[in-house]
């Protein structure tokens, strides 16, 4: 990739140097050359202010760069790296889910960022378009989400069942099956209601 102004040409810029060039030429057309699908392409952009919501004075072109690196590791180092990535994902998903539920209780939750079955299908297609690695990574993220959601202490989920088991262990007597069934039914209805809301949001985004 390269970025060129009337005076300078910068080959393979890092995110920092790319930003510096953009800041140095406000209002001036910049020529950006990049490679996509093995084909070299060229486009132009004019740095302008007001594009960044939180910093309206900063000059930007609406493009950001990220350093992408592919590394090869042997089995055990790769296993350690995968474990760290999985743990980081679990923590991030747990914090995000907790924030969503807390906002839902206060009525400030933004469900537009939550995807249901229809939305997930579209995201799977997007991930697949970037290659098998992106698809497998996205599949792992979905699996982590399902694992955490399933362990929530909500009736009809495994987490709810664990709550019943804990209560029975503390009281040393079984819970009335009738009440267990009723509570699980309520939890199931709530889950289905949430599923309908999320699915409707998916459909609304497509319309």
Residue-wise pLDDT tens digits, 54-66 = 777 777 777 766 6
Span 93-115, average pLDDT:
78
Handedness of CA 176, 154, 167, 143 (dihedral sign): positive
CB-based contact 1:15 (threshold 8 Å): no
- Look at residue 11 in the predicted model and tell me its pLDDT: 78
Query: CA-to-CA distance for 100 and 148, rounded, in angstroms?
Result: 13
Please state the pTM of the whole predicted model.
0.61
Q: At what angle do helices 132-150 and 75-106 cross, to 10 degrees?
A: 50
Span 75-82, average pLDDT:
89
Q: Quick check: 165 pLDDT over 80?
A: yes
Q: What is the mean pLDDT of the chain?
A: 81
- Look at residue 80 in the predicted model and tell me its pLDDT: 92
Place of tokens 């990535």: 85
pLDDT tier, 83 (very low <50, low <70, confident <90, very high otherwise): very high
pLDDT digit string, tens, across residues 7-35: 677 777 777 777 777 778 888 888 888 77
């Amino acid at each position: 990739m390269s970025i060129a102004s009337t005076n300078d040409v910068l080959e393979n810029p890092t995110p920092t140097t790319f930003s510096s060039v953009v800041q140095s030429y406000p209002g001036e057309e910049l020529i950006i050359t990049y490679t996509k699908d093995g084909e070299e392409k060229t486009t132009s952009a004019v740095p302008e202010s007001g594009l960044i919501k939180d910093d309206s004075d900063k000059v930007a072109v609406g493009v950001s760069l990220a350093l992408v690196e592919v590394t090869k590791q042997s089995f055990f180092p790769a296993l350690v790296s995968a474990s760290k990535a999985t743990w980081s994902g679990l923590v991030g998903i747990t914090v995000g889910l907790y924030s969503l539920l807390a906002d839902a209780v206060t009525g400030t939750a933004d469900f537009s960022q939550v995807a249901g079955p229809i939305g997930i299908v579209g995201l799977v297609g997007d991930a697949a378009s970037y290659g098998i690695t992106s698809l497998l990574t996205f599949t792992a993220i979905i699996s982590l989400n399902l694992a955490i959601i399933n362990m929530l202490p909500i009736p009809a989920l495994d987490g709810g069942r664990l709550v019943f088991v804990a209560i029975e262990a503390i009281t040393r007597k079984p819970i009335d099956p009738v009440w267990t069934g009723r509570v699980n039914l309520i939890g199931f209805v709530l889950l289905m209601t949430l599923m309908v809301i999320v699915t409707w949001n998916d459909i609304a985004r497509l319309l």
